[in-house]
Amino acid sequence: MQWADVAAVVTGGASGLGEATTRALSAKGAAVTILDLQVDKAAALVAELGGGTSYVATDVTDGEQVQAALAEAVGKGRELRVAVNCAGVGWASRVLTRDGTPHDLELFSKVIGINLIGTFNVLRLAAVAMAGNQPDEQGERGAIVNTASIAAFDGQIAYAASKAGVAGMTLPAARDLSSIGVRVNTVAPGIIDTPMLAGLPEDTRAKLAAGVPFPKRLGTPADYASLAVFLLEHPYLNGETVRMDAALRMPPK
């Protein structure tokens, strides 16, 4: 991939996994458009990185807003060849609480809406833009990286369902988009030291790190970004969901 000729979009690109990915792609020379709702963080990151980095306030579940963000990306005089989906929310709850209260249906729908439907929304619309690109020497027109989680395989109900959906659509999407030369892969991170964990007490964070087999630490957003870039650059990786969890398996509680 010739990064100097690439326009890229990163959802949730103003913080956590998305911020690290924005930084990594910008360092490669890509013109990155951040899709996020955190206005202040996004503006500060754009001011810091400069160059081709820009920001469009975007609800990933809204088709028109995503279209506007993609238009910003392709308006930089480069072909949109990269999309990385990092936008997501988490919610930990049981189907039934100990007092017998059922899981809140609205919260379940919200998690599914942002994590799964939002990812698919960006994927489908980015594919439209990529279909018009000139193919490279291997026939590739673009690459997409989605974000699942090891919770897709052993996590809390709403979050697990949303991330299992992301993992589950990876191969079908890769097969569907093979006809236009677009690859689709997914990262399934373990426990990553993102802003979602920043509010936990230090002893809790230490216990989480101690439970990781090796390396015995929390993952970092930079770990994620380096893997995302690898998946984007490797021309023969397609349709894969890659666990990035240091051999961690989540307990049932």
CA 197-199-203 angle, 5° bins: 80
Is 234 exposed, middle or buried (CB count within 10 Å of its CB: 0-12, 13-18, 19+)?
middle
Residue 107 token pair: 């919260």
With residues binned 3-state (H G I as helix, E B as strand, rest as coil), the percentages for the chain, rounded to 5, are 45, 20, 35
Is 37 exposed, middle or buried (CB count within 10 Å of its CB: 0-12, 13-18, 19+)?
middle
CB 134 within 8 A of CB 79: yes
Q: Which residues are catalytic?
A: 159
How many residues in total does the chain contain?
253
| Residues whose CB is less than 8 angstroms from the CB of residue 201 and which lie 6 or more positions away in sequence, other chains included | none
Q: How far apart are CA 242 and CA 167, in angstroms?
A: 9
**Cα separation values, 226 from 20, 39, 114, 149, 209, Å:** 9, 25, 24, 16, 20
DSSP 8-state symbol, 116: I
Instruction: Classify 99 in phi/psi space as left (phi over 0), alpha (psi -120 to 50) or beta.
Output: alpha
